[in-house]
Amino acid sequence: MVKVRLAAPVLQQNEEVARENRTFFQKHGIFVLNLMSSPGSGKTSTLERTIEHLAGSLKLGVIEGDIYTTRDAERIEAYGVPVVQINTAGACHLDARMIRPALEDFDFGGLDLLIIENVGNLVCPAEFDLGEDARAVVLSVAEGNDKPLKYPLIFRQAQVVLINKIDLLPYTDCDLSLLEKDIRAINPDLEIFRISARENTGFSPWLSWLKEQVKIKKQKA
Amino acid sequence: MHELSLMENVVATLRASAAENRIKKITRIQLVVGKLTMAVPEALQFAFEVFKEEDLFKSAVLEIKEEPVRGECKECQHAFEIKDYEFLCPSCSSPQVKLVGGRELYIDFYEGD
Ligand SMILES: [Zn+2]
């Protein structure tokens, strides 16, 4: 019998590729955002509004992760933004290796911001580094108050939470201050923005944050 | 959930290492899993079954050691276990808590012939 001590991180390979992706983005001075949520949070609508608002001020590309369909990619393409679709063929998250071939499909010269819309799921995407600069979680008030405590890792790993569907607040039993308190207990450094993608409200602070990050990344390149 | 892709990574690492060490049959695997990874031990075991058809893993027992979520206060250096995902120092109430445990996900060792 042979005993082999490995102490090998299970996701070592993913982390190596993520590092390579990060170097690539760094070289091009592109700020990369990993956009995550559970299904039905309004992540794609949030992305659509964000694209509309940024039109003319930032050059943006999108990577759409989806298990099987191209529906979300088609929605984004309608805004005249370059989109690369990645089908994960059943996998519930994107990983760093899936991102890499997509990088060849963009003309990165002049691109300021790349948004990666991850697969709708609060568990698995949290574990896989893609080489992004920041992670944002879209959470809707309709999902109930217990999401942060049920899925703490994703909130611990994120820099931003967008609380969406604020317009529906009177029709839910969501306690917004309690929700934000739970989020901050997990991660006190999180930026929290309250938005309604449907009514197109509350986007200004979020867009300012995004533009600031793009500027900082450009200066570092 | 993501347990299957985690197991794919575990199995790939083991395959490479076993080939390197000329091991034909793995008998025991110790996997360390932090509670914050949200990987469910039962689901990992279930996912491992998928790979049991392979000769290398046919007689392998997968042992999973769970690690608690642990924090260390950046203000007063107090080290403590984080319960209910409340990242707040129980000693000085500071929210500036560094995560020092709970994200583990590694193969500690394996045995084989
Ligand atoms: Zn303290």
Tens-digit pLDDT profile for residues B43-56:
999 999 999 999 99
To the nearest whole Å, the CA of B8 is away from the closest chain A CA by 9
Tens-digit pLDDT profile for residues B76-111:
999 999 988 888 899 999 988 999 999 899 999 999
- Partner-chain contact B36 A156, CB within 8 Å: yes
Q: Measured in angstroms, how far is the CA atom of residue B81 from the centroid of ligand 1?
A: 13
Q: Span B7-29, mean pLDDT? A: 95
The residue among A38, A69, A64 whose CA lies nearest residue A51 is A64
Binding-face residues of A in 107-126 toward B, CB within 8 A = 123-124, 126
Give the rounded percent of residues in chain B with a pLDDT score beyond 70.
Answer: 99
| pTM of the model as a whole | 0.87
Q: Does B105 touch chain A (CB under 8 A)?
A: yes
Tens-digit pLDDT profile for residues A88-124:
877 788 999 999 888 888 887 789 999 999 998 888 8
Which residue, among A10, A36, A119, would best test binding to B if mutated, counting the most B CBs under 10 Å from its CB?
A: A10
Contacts of B37 in chain A (CB under 8 A): 127, 153
Task: Report every protein residue that has its C-beta within 5 angstroms of ion ligand 1.
Answer: B 73, 75-76, 78, 89, 91-92, 94
Contacts of B103 in chain A (CB under 8 A): 153
Place of tokens 């896989």: A128
Q: For residues A22 and A29, give the distance between their C-alpha atoms in angstroms, rounded to a whole number.
A: 10
How many CB atoms within 10 Å of residue B81?
12
Look at B11 and A89; give whichever has higher pLDDT: B11
ipTM: 0.85
Full strand arrangement of the beta sheet holding B105-112:
A2-9, B105-112, B26-34, B61-67
The residue among A127, A190, A117 whose CA lies nearest residue A159 is A190
Q: Does A11 touch chain B (CB under 8 A)?
A: yes
Of chain A, the end-to-end C-alpha distance in Å amounts to 52
- pLDDT at residue B1 greater than cutoff 60: no
Q: Measured in angstroms, how far is the CA atom of residue A187 from the centroid of ligand 1?
A: 15
Q: Residue A184: its pLDDT value, please?
A: 92
Q: Residue A102: its pLDDT value, please?
A: 86
- Partner-chain contact B9 A13, CB within 8 Å: yes
Give yes or no for a contact between A208 and A58, defined as CB atoms under 8 angstroms apart.
no
- Partner-chain contact A13 B12, CB within 8 Å: yes
**Regions of chain A with pLDDT less than 70:** none
